[in-house]
Every structure is written in C-alpha cells, then in structure tokens.
Structure 1
Amino acid sequence: MLPADMVGGVSAARAADLEASGEVLSDFVSRVDAVLRDLEGSAGDPTKVGAQTIKASSLSNGRSDVFPEAHTLYTQYHSVHDQLTTLSKTLHLQIEAIGIAVRGASIGFDNLEEEQRQRFWAIQWEIDKIQSKTGGHSSGDGKSGMGA
C-alpha cells in the first residue's frame, strides 16, 4: 500500500515536478528541432555520411589475391562505413520522432495533424526495418547489435 502522499509511486511533490507545462514542452520541441537542423547541416547528415565512400580499386587494383591486406582494409572500411551510415540515419529518425512525440505529449497525440501522426508511425516502421536488417534492436545488455 502506498503512503497517502504518494501518487503513482512518487511523492506528490515529485509528481508536480514531473508535470510538463505546454511552455516547457514547446521549448523542448524547439531544442529538438534545432538539434535536427544542426545534424542536417553537418557532416553527420545521413546523406553526407553515405556519400563518403571509396572504391576497392582505390587501395589496390581491386584484386584481393595481389594485395590481400588492402582488400581486408577495404572490407573493414566498407563495413564500418555502412554501420556509421545506419547509425546516422537512425539518429536522425529518432530525433525527428522525439520532436513529434513531444508535440503529441503537449496537445495529445490524437490532436496532432494527421500528417504528423502518419510520419511518426512511418519513422517507427523505418527504424524497425533498419534494426531488423542489422540486428540492431536493443537487448538491454549495452550491445548495439550493429556488429562486433
């Protein structure tokens, strides 16, 4: 049994601290939007990360039997590049989803414009698709699932 001054497992004073006003949520949305704009304008933008590739022939003539170390280096570079591209895209999507979720928390998810609700679920679907492709779902053990 909870003490009389407990609300949902926390004291009434703590519960009041957890309540978010519309102004606080609007400020948070503005900050999330600013982070998203900064990411889109930086070298961390998924499109920019994805464009930074090299060809196997840049390290050797493209034949793994002539210079196997160069081929191994290219293979590792390509693997890390794919992981960074995926990470950048997932981060971008999650920041966008947070912005929509905070707006929904402020005014109620049902009160969001239909386009925003659809975008939120499209983002969730896209993140799930990326994670299922890479095995990147969180298992809670601190491993990203994006490879060793």
Structure 2
Amino acid sequence: MLPADMVGGVSATRAANLEASNEALTTFMKRVDAVLRDLEGSAGNPTKVGAQEIKPTSLSSGAHDLFPEARGLYLQYNRVHTELTSLSKTLHLQIEAIGIAVQGAHRGFDNLEEEQRRRFWSIQAQIRGVQDAKRDKLHANDSKTGAGL
C-alpha cells in the first residue's frame, strides 16, 4: 500500500517538481527544433552521410589477392559507413519525435494535429524496426559464431 502522500509511486512533492511548465516546454521545444535544423544542415544529415561511399576499385585494381589489406579496409569502411548512416537516420528520427512529444506535452497529445500524431507513431515504428533489425543481426552473428551459446 502506498503512503497517503504518494501519487503514482512518487511523492506529491516530487510529482509537483516533475510538472512541466509551459515556459520550460516551449524553451525545450525551441532547442529541439534548433538541433534538428542544425542536423539537417550539417555533414551529419542522413542523406549526406549515406552519399559518402567508396568503390572497391578505389583501393585496388580489383585483384583482392594482390592487396588483401585494401579489401579489409574497404570492408571495414563499409561496415562503419553503414552504422553511421543508420545512427544518423535514427538520431534524426529521435529528435523529430522528441519535438512532437514536447508539443504533445505542452498542448496535450490529443490536441495535436492528426498528421503530427500519425508521424509520431510512424517514427516510433521506424525506430523499433531499426532496433529489431540490429537485434536480429546480432543474434544471427552470435548463432554463427556460437557466442550466444
């Protein structure tokens, strides 16, 4: 049984401290919007990161047995590039979702435009898909190497 001064598992004093003021949410929302604008204009933009690819022939003439280190470098570069592209896209989506969530906290989620609510849930599904794919890939790699056993 919760004490009388507890609200949802948190004391009334702490619950009051957790309430978000209109001013605090507006300030936070502006900061999130600024971060999103900065990301869009930076080299970390998902489109710009995704466009930075190299071809295997850039490191060798295609004869992998003549310069195997070049092949290894190429494979590592592609692995890191793929991860950075995924991270950039996920970060972009997370920041956009935070912006919508802040607006929802400010005005009430039910008071957001239908398109914003749909976008929020679409972002959540995309992020969940990325996380599931990474988890599945990790489990597949573990089962190949026996590390998960």
Q: TM-score, normalised by structure 1?
A: 0.85
Partner of 2:114: 114
Partner of 2:147: none
In the alignment, does 2:132 pair up with 1:128?
no
Matches within 5 A, 1:86-105: 86-105=86-105
Give structure 1 stretches of 5+ with no counterpart: 137-148
- Letter in structure 2 aligned against 1:85: T
Partner of 1:33: 33
TM superposition outliers: structure 1 runs of 4+ over 3 Å: none
Give, in whole Å, the separation in 1 of the partners of 2:46 and 2:132. Answer: 19
Give structure 2 stretches of 5+ with no counterpart: 137-149
Task: Tell whether the 8 Å contact from 1:49 to 1:88 is kept in structure 2 after alignment.
Answer: yes
Instruction: Point out the structure with the larger helix share.
Output: 2
Give, in whole Å, the separation in 2 of the partners of 1:106 and 1:63. Answer: 60
Q: TM-score, normalised by structure 2?
A: 0.84
Give, in whole Å, the separation in 2 of the partners of 1:21 and 1:15. Answer: 13
Paired residue secondary structure (1:135): helix
Give, in whole Å, the separation in 1 of the partners of 2:63 and 2:75. Answer: 12
Task: Tell whether the 8 Å contact from 1:60 to 1:70 is kept in structure 2 after alignment.
Answer: yes
How far is 1:55 from its partner?
Answer: 1.1
Partner of 1:6: 6
Partner of 1:142: none
Q: Report the identity percentage.
A: 71
CA distances 1:92-130 after superposition (whole Å, capped 9, x unpaired): 000100110111122121111011011111111221222
Q: RMSD of the TM alignment (CA)?
A: 1.7
Give, in whole Å, the separation in 2 of the partners of 1:128 and 1:5. Answer: 37
